Amino acid sequence: MTERYPTTVAAASAALAAGELSSAELTEAYLSRIEAVEPTVRAFLTITAERALERARRADATRRADSSPLHGVPLAIKDVICTNGVPTTCGSAILEGFVPPYDATVVERLEAAGAVSLGKLNCDEFAMGSSTETSAYHITRNPWDPERVPGGSSGGSAAVVAAGMAPASLGTDTGGSIRQPAALCGVSGLKPTYGRVSRYGLVAFGSSLDQIGPFAWTAADLALILGVIAGHDPRDGTSAPIPVPDYRAALTGEIRGLRVGVPREYFVEGMEPGVEAATREAIAALKDLGADVVEVSLPHTKYALPTYYIIAPAEASANLARYDGVRYGPREPGETMWDEIELTRGRRFGAEVRRRIMLGTYALSAGYYDAYYKRAQQVRTLIKRDFEEAFAQVDVLATPTSPTVAFKIGQKLDDPLAMYLTDVCTLPINLAGMPSLVVPCGFSEGLPVGLQLIGRPFAEETLLRTGDAYQRATDWHTRRPAL
């Protein structure tokens, strides 16, 4: 893209408000960029070019002085979020061709704010994965190195921003699926507090863990988007009836006196030296900005991975029971109804989804429920208590996001445990329901590294203020892949 067409949400919003370009021109520029680089990156499952241009022209015709900062700004949506009239497949063959008859709440709120959707983004099947390799349709590639994964499960959402095909996107995070791909693709990503953003219209993976959040280049852009999509929704029983603050007003650039805790357990064995070095340098930069940095302990962190892989598959087993070829998607032919259901689920669910359904069904089965699921929920309480005790001492926690940079496509696909370990630094936050922000903080072996900031429940403004202050003092978020 040329310099005329801004690549950040804030710059695009300012240019549109000043009349320097129209939404139609901006949308056409991004569609041209998509045409140029999408064959390499493959971030999209559905591109809605005509619909986007129609929406952009409408945004131009309805612009007012008090229009939303997202009015006329293009973005894209992860394909696990329902969009009226546009296919929503969740990256799965079992929902091939499914077109929802309604919009998710976040989509409604974006459209009410005048945003322009460019299409639906690839992801691991039903958001189950850490590399976007389990999609039934194609593998998304990392814009920094097309031989490497973009992370997952929201790999398409991270890659589309990193590749300059959209200034922002929406993803979902069940165990790190916003933060890990944000780190691996060198962009910023926010997992809000559980309950901060409505899940109505989100196809569920783990109902007590899932949360929708934005990707963009900067914390300031994330603040703009969160201000639009956050807030109570009576259609979502888990949506918190808590007022939404002015996130932009929180971006003062000042973090002097902020108490930053560094959990010793997050610098795990096997972490790449370059990742640890970049993370520690970023924490040192926060200290240079006036933050007080102290070491803290979250002693039950080591139990987060096994706890998550009992709770999340158990919830997935229940949530995915509805996909049987009867009500949604195509149906495999069989002699009886039960044959059709068995064949549809056996052939159209991918290997990773089948693995997690079986794990979850086993954990919930008679005789094993107390030994596995009930005990995992008890450990989850201990993990949450660790965070509560830490936040009695500090305002923010700073940690690595992923123990490695982006790995080669196919490197971990046949080793589920190695793949699961890529989320070791992100899983505990979902179990505790905390908000977490990732911002680019350097490079290791030429590939991006992300700093993870964790906050108290519903304290997203503190995270965004910290991330914004860091980005004012550094330029990692300005680096772009030579794609």
**Which CATH number characterizes residue 224's domain?**
3.90.1300.10
Look-up of token digits 């560094």: 262
In the residue annotation, 78 being an active-site residue is answered as yes
Contact 44, 122 (CB under 8 A): yes
Phi and psi for 482 in degrees, rounded to 5?
Answer: -85, 70
**443 lies in some domain:** no
pLDDT, residue 4, reads 66
**57 lies in some domain:** yes
Number of domains within the chain: 1
Give whole-number Cα distances, 369 to 204, 331, 473, in Å.
22, 32, 50
Give the helix/strand (H/E) hosting 118: strand 116-121
Give the helix/strand (H/E) hosting 284: helix 273-288
User: Which of 68, 117, 135, 153 does the annotation list as catalytic?
Assistant: 153
**Burial (0-12, 13-18, 19+ Cβ within 10 Å), 208:** middle
Contact 248, 224 (CB under 8 A): yes
User: b/e per residue, 216-234, with b = 16+ CB within 10 A?
Assistant: bbbbbbbbbbbbbbbbebe
Q: Which residues pair with 400 in a beta bridge?
A: 451
**136 lies in some domain:** yes
pLDDT, residue 366, reads 86
Domain that holds residue 101: 9-254
Rounded-to-integer distance, Cα 39 and Cα 33, Å: 11
User: Which of 13, 23, 78, 169 does the annotation list as catalytic?
Assistant: 78
pLDDT, residue 327, reads 86
pLDDT tens, the chain, 483 aa long: 444 689 999 999 999 999 999 999 999 999 999 999 999 999 999 999 999 999 999 999 999 988 999 999 999 999 999 999 999 999 999 999 999 999 999 999 999 999 999 999 999 999 999 999 999 999 999 999 999 999 999 999 999 999 999 999 999 999 999 999 999 999 999 999 999 999 999 999 999 999 999 999 999 999 999 999 999 999 999 999 999 999 999 999 999 999 999 999 999 888 999 999 999 999 999 999 999 999 999 999 999 999 999 999 999 999 999 999 988 889 999 999 999 999 999 999 999 999 999 999 999 998 899 999 999 999 999 999 999 999 999 999 999 999 999 999 999 999 988 999 999 999 999 999 999 999 999 999 999 999 999 999 999 999 999 999 999 999 999 999 998
CA-based torsion, 156, 159, 161, 164: positive or negative = negative
Rounded-to-integer distance, Cα 392 and Cα 294, Å: 13
Q: Which residues pair with 455 in a beta bridge?
A: 396
In the residue annotation, 68 being an active-site residue is answered as no
- pLDDT (tens digit per residue) in 392-402: 999 999 999 99
Rounded-to-integer distance, Cα 221 and Cα 464, Å: 10
Contact 419, 450 (CB under 8 A): no
Give whole-number Cα distances, 141 to 93, 410, 416, in Å.
20, 12, 20
**63 lies in some domain:** yes
Q: What angle do CA 251, 254, 260 make, to 5 degrees?
A: 100
Contact 182, 188 (CB under 8 A): yes
DSSP three-state, residue 212: strand
User: Which of 177, 188, 239, 436 does the annotation list as catalytic?
Assistant: 177
Rounded-to-integer distance, Cα 218 and Cα 6, Å: 13
Q: Which residues pair with 262 in a beta bridge?
A: 295
List helix spans (H) across 298-425: 304-319, 337-348, 351-364, 375-390, 416-420
pLDDT, residue 269, reads 87
Closest CA to 360 of 352, 323, 194: 352
The set of residues, in sequence order, having a beta carbon less than 8 Å from that of 14 and lying 6+ positions away, is 6
**75 lies in some domain:** yes
Q: What angle do CA 382, 387, 392 make, to 5 degrees?
A: 125
> Which DSSP string corresponds to 468-479?
HHHHHH--GGG-
**15 lies in some domain:** yes
In the residue annotation, 153 being an active-site residue is answered as yes
Structure tokens at 416: 């589920």
Contact 167, 8 (CB under 8 A): yes
Rounded-to-integer distance, Cα 478 and Cα 475, Å: 5
**197 lies in some domain:** yes
Rounded-to-integer distance, Cα 13 and Cα 11, Å: 5
**152 lies in some domain:** yes
Give the helix/strand (H/E) hosting 275: helix 273-288
